[in-house]
């Protein structure tokens, strides 16, 4: 089954061709960093306009790199939400037009479900069900029990900032260039993670939620203090990163110990973070946990994971090209749609 994937939930215009939910024949990702850098963050209107300018060429590029044509494609998968509504509308409108004009099936995919299936791409071994997924990105941080492709339960989520958002905001406090998350990770590698004891959020009772707003605020107050003004930026970055990774790992390990999971999946943009990847790898080796982390190109937003999700969820994501709409707040729970012929 050959699927064309389209992903425009934020500021990356991404397309891909994937066979059988696993073999990536092409993956095209065009970022907009240079257009948003001077603002220090993503400007929604600019993002949607860039998607309009790039999407058609990105689709053609993905098909050409895969050595196939739209006529040979078996279906079109697109991110329906959640995300920036203007960006989503561009991708959804393009996918609907392609599906209608070519009479191909259309699949409306939840962006976060795409991250769940990212570890299935380009590898012979897939995470065995049931598995525990930690989804960490600029917009989301949550723990999900994945019992099957169609049954997923959110166990915990962030109360405020997502981990990636905290990274970007802290990077800005340190004067690092945009996008800040990867820059902070690089700086932290040269610093001392034990230099400063920034707070770790601990939820009440046995909750598995996250919170990173207090950590970000703590870093800001520290940098405004005399000690902070004299501190080495690399040490501040490393100490902040240690606090984030510690909070994520504490909840991940706690959730894993409460149920019988066959594996752990860590996905989303922050999964490409070197410290988090090292912590997960060390834990998996120490406790014999089967851990799956996608390569960095599939951690960040991409269309291959959207095509993979559509393949594994099939009819549950089937949509009508004439009535499908984008939803900026699309709930994580899968809504089973009626099949269309």
Mind giving me the DSSP string for 276-288? HHHHHHHHHHHTT
**What angle, rounded to 10 degrees, do the helices at 44-66 and 85-102 form?**
30
pLDDT in tens, 267-301: 999 999 999 999 999 999 999 999 999 999 999 99
- Residue-averaged pLDDT of the chain: 94
pLDDT of 315 reads: 92
Task: Output the DSSP codes for 21-65.
Answer: TTEEEEEEEE--HHHHGGGTS--HHHHHHHHHHHHHHHHHHHHHH
Across residues 239-252, what is the average pLDDT?
97
> Is the pLDDT confidence value at 337 over 80?
no
Do 211 and 160 contact (CB within 8 A), yes or no?
yes
For residue 250, give the 3-state DSSP assignment.
helix
Provide mean pLDDT across the span 79-87. 97
C-alpha count within 13 angstroms, C-beta hemisphere, residue 173: 23
Provide mean pLDDT across the span 221-237: 97
Reading the block at residue 99, the tokens are 């599906």
At 334, the pLDDT band (50, 70, 90 cuts) reads: low
What is the full DSSP assignment across 190-243? Answer: TS-TTSS-------STT---B--HHHHHHHHHHHHSHHHHHS-HHHHHHHHHHH
> Stretch 234-242: mean pLDDT, rounded?
98
Which domains can be identified in the chain, with CATH numbers? Answer: 2-117+299-319 (3.30.420.40), 129-294 (3.30.420.40)
Burial of 18 (0-12, 13-18, 19+ CB in 10 A): buried
Structure confidence by residue, pLDDT tens digits, 94-148: 999 999 999 999 999 999 999 999 999 999 899 999 999 999 998 889 999 999 9
Round to whole Å and give the CA distance between 187 and 269.
Answer: 17
So what's the pLDDT on residue 179?
A: 87
Question: Mean pLDDT, to the nearest integer, of 194-198?
Answer: 97
pTM for the whole thing? 0.94
Which is higher by pLDDT, 34 or 237? 237
């Amino acid at each position: 089954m050959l699927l064309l994937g389209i992903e425009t939930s934020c500021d990356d215009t991404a397309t891909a061709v994937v066979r059988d939910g696993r073999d990536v024949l092409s993956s095209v990702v065009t970022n907009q960093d240079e257009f948003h850098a001077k603002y220090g963050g993503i400007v929604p209107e600019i993002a949607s306009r860039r998607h309009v300018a790039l999407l058609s060429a990105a689709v053609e590029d993905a098909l050409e790199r895969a050595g196939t044509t739209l006529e040979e494609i078996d279906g079109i998968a697109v991110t329906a939400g959640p995300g920036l509504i203007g960006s989503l509308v561009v991708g959804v409108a393009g996918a609907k037009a392609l599906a209608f004009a070519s009479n191909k099936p259309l699949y409306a995919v939840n962006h976060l479900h795409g991250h769940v299936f990212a570890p299935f791409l380009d590898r012979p071994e897939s995470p065995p069900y049931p598995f525990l997924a930690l989804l960490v990105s600029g917009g989301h941080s949550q723990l999900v029990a994945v019992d099957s492709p169609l049954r997923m339960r959110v166990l915990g989520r962030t109360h405020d900032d997502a981990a990636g958002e905290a990274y970007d905001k802290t990077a800005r406090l340190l004067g690092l260039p945009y996008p800040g998350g990867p820059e902070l990770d690089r700086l932290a590698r040269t610093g001392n993670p034990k230099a400063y004891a920034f707070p770790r959020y601990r939820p009440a009772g046995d909750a598995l939620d996250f919170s990173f707003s207090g950590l970000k605020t703590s870093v800001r107050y520290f940098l405004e203090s005399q000690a902070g003004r004299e501190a080495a930026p690399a040490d501040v970055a490393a100490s902040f990163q240690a606090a984030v990774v510690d909070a994520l790992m504490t909840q991940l390990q706690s959730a894993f110990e409460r149920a019988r999971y066959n594996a752990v999946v860590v996905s989303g943009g922050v999964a490409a973070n070197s410290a988090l990847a090292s912590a997960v790898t060390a834990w998996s080796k120490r406790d014999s946990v089967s851990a799956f982390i996608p390569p960095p190109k599939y951690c960040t937003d991409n269309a291959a994971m959207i095509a993979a999700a559509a393949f594994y969820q099939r009819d549950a994501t089937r949509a009508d090209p004439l009535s499908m709409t984008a939803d900026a707040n699309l709930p994580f729970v899968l809504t089973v749609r009626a099949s269309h012929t």
